[in-house]
Amino acid sequence: MLRTRLLIGLLGVVVGVYGAYLWLSRQEGPQITSAAKWLVAGPILHDLVLSMAVILVVAVASRVVPDPARAPLAVGAIVLGSVSLIAVPMLGRYGEKPDNPTLLDRDYTTGWLVVAGLVLLGVLVATVVRARRSSGSSSDTP
């Protein structure tokens, strides 16, 4: 088992080093520095900004949100949060080109509002159902 793992690990190192060689050998200095900045910025933005923001939001939400809404809200936040992150380039229209109306040719803001509305509706319905179920079960018990 250990030998197999060592071999797999070695294969991974070879593949990774080949990639690093491709990256560093086929472009000029400024291009490499630009990519290096992005490589480092990703984990920093994730680990120190996004993760901390999530921890903060969860800490606040766990004190404020009533019990029946907690699970539905968690589901809604994960779905809407991750999909909104994906939608950032479209919502910002950063790649828009005046000569090409076929690119980014939707009303993304309305689209996002629709998605957010549907998620909110789902959260509300699930919360009401859970609240009723829990109050029903508690009144059943003598």
Residue selected from 49, 66, 94, 117 as contacting another protein according to rule CB under 8 A: 94
SS3 106: coil
- Nearest CB to another protein, comparing residues 86 and 140: 86
Count how many Cα atoms sit within 13 Å of the Cα of residue 24 in the half-sphere of its side chain.
Answer: 7
- Burial call 105-122: b when 16+ CB within 10 Å, e when fewer: eeebeeebeeeeeebeee
* Residue with smaller CB distance to another protein, 27 or 135: 27
- Of 30-38, 124-132, 134-142: span binding another protein (CB under 8 A): 30-38
Q: CA 117, CA 101: separation in Å to the nearest integer? A: 28
Cβ pair 142, 84 in contact under 8 A: no
What residues line the site for another protein (CB under 8 A)? 1, 5-6, 8-9, 11-20, 22-23, 26-27, 30-32, 34-35, 38-40, 42-43, 46-47, 51, 54, 62, 70-71, 73-75, 78-79, 81-83, 85-87, 89-90, 92, 94-95, 97, 99-106, 108, 110-112, 114-115
